[in-house]
Amino acid sequence: MYSEKVMDHFQNPRNVGEIENASGVGTVGNAKCGDIMRIYLDIDDNGVIQDCKFKTFGCGAAVATSSMATELVKGKTVQEALLVTNKAVMEALDGLPPVKVHCSLLAEEGIHAALWDYAEKNGISIIPMLNTPGHMDALFSAMSELNVGSSRTTSKMRLTDDAQVNFVKALQQKYIDYFAKQGSKYYNLAADEYSFSALSDSEYTAFATYVNAIAKMVKGAGMTPMCYNDGINYSGKTTSVAFDTDILVCYWAQKENYASVAELSEAGFTIV
């Protein structure tokens, strides 16, 4: 059963049509159901979406989600529009039947595709980042709901827990594949603030192994890996695995035991 809002947006869709000389246009489709969605954005010089229109070929749910998605992003900045998810679209429509959830995903992808087109037209480079193995509050919440790995009391993953590592690697791969497809040239795996001083040498080796594994995935997708300087060649720690020098090091802080710019450069890293 469809909600009243879904029926309303299907029978009386908002923002149908095209925008001439649009700031960004995104076209996406679902091969399984045949739905095709095209989103048009009019973005002003301040990065605010002044207008958004769509043309959709598909079922009632595809039309309704297109309509609602355009309503949600109008008046938002580009940054705010990037945060509009399929979940937000579904919630605004008071839900969708399980078999129609893919329509909300298509709406999210259509908005993102139009924003990518806008970025490309304006020479804006987007460097995605999924920060692991620290700063993982949101990911841990999802992992707990899915009963993945052992119990956790911090926002850092245990690099000795195979279930956690495999889960996060799989998630990283999805992000890497998505942004590579969008044309990103760089991918920031971050890897900062992981309580390095408290790690044993074996744990630090596990950290280096993990960072190298994600970097390999990034390079395999045709992008250049980046990370912050915190944990690279951390003074006082020994690892049997050398860090991949293909990783661009974003030098953001100099603290005790952090390798200096000169030390990292001498080790073969490029500093940005």
Helices and strands: H and E segment counts in the chain:
9, 7
Dist CA 15 CA 67 (whole Å)? 7
**Full 3-state SS string of 58-72:** CCHHHHHHHHHHHHH
Cβ atoms < 10 Å from Cβ of 172: 18
- Burial of residue 18 (number of CB atoms within 10 Å: 0-12, 13-18, 19+): exposed
- Choose the catalytic residue: 52, 59, 103, 227: 103
Is 33 labeled as catalytic in the residue annotation? yes
Residue 66: what residue type? S
Dist CA 221 CA 198 (whole Å)? 33
Q: Name the residues annotated as catalytic.
A: 33, 103
